[in-house]
Chain A
């Protein structure tokens, strides 16, 4: 059974550009969360989606947006990229929106902004 898959694995963008990252959850999982991990730090929560609705938002600017599709896959969009957006972006899927369901992480997308 496939785990959480993210695409692309690596990406280089220029300041000011826009980027879209994609995530496919584990089959049967209905919740997807996004995390940003800057080099040398722990992951920071960005968004959580469940059944296509936003269920949580972290302390990130409006340049960050996301959505979830009927097949439960998700996209994270970042507009007007800044150098500080360079990070590993992790997607996690879980069965439900609940603290009692474990989150499983994808391999991440390494975004470099130059």
Chain B
């Protein structure tokens, strides 16, 4: 059974700084997803990582996947306030159910 762990759970950053969110998963997963969630809102898909070594970038966010280490990272470059949200990684478990990490709440301070 797939287990997904994220760290840190909470991240307070200054604008302009860089930081990385880590996502470790316990068993092989066909693919790895990153989602963003604003308070009280639904999940917005950010990235789908399909294979070992995959790297995807959108604006100030870059996600990567290392299937051998069972690790995905979400790197934030020069953070801005608009990036404040909770970020989740998720992988597919048996039975085609998505298993989510506990989330990383990101707060970017001006």
Q: Which residues of A contact B (CB under 8 A)?
A: 33, 35, 40-45, 48, 55-58, 88, 90, 92, 97-100, 102-108, 110
* B22-54 near A? 1/0 per residue, CB < 8 Å: 000000001101000000111101001000000
| Given the contacts A90-B42, A104-B45, A45 and B99 also touching, CB distance less than 8 Å | yes
Contact A97 B98 (CB under 8 A): no
- Whether B102 and A33, one on each chain, are in contact in the complex, defined by CB atoms closer than 8 angstroms, is no
Chain B: number of interface residues, binned into ranges: 20 to 34
Nearest-CB residue, chain A, relative to B35: A105
List chain A residues, Cβ under 8 A from B90.
42
Report yes or no: A107 in contact with B102, Cβ–Cβ below 8 A. no
Q: Which residue of B lies closest to A46 (CB)?
A: B97
**Cross-chain contact A99 with B42 (CB below 8 angstroms):** no
Question: 8 shortest A-B CB distances, which residue pairs?
Answer: A42-B100, A56-B95, A45-B97, A99-B92, A105-B43, A107-B42, A99-B30, A105-B42
- Is there contact, CB below 8 Å, between A108 and B100? no
Contact A48–B96 (Cβ < 8 Å): yes
In the complex, A97 Cα to B30 Cα: how many Å?
A: 14
Q: Is the CB of A42 within 8 A of B103?
A: yes
Judging by beta carbons under 8 Å apart, are B96 and A98 in contact?
A: yes
Contacting residues, chain B, for A92 (C-beta < 8 A): 98
25 contacts between A and B (CB under 8 A): A40-B103, A42-B90, A42-B102, A43-B43, A44-B100, A45-B93, A45-B99, A48-B96, A56-B95, A56-B96, A56-B97, A58-B97, A88-B40, A90-B42, A99-B30, A99-B92, A100-B30, A100-B31, A102-B33, A102-B45, A102-B48, A104-B45, A105-B45, A107-B41, A107-B42
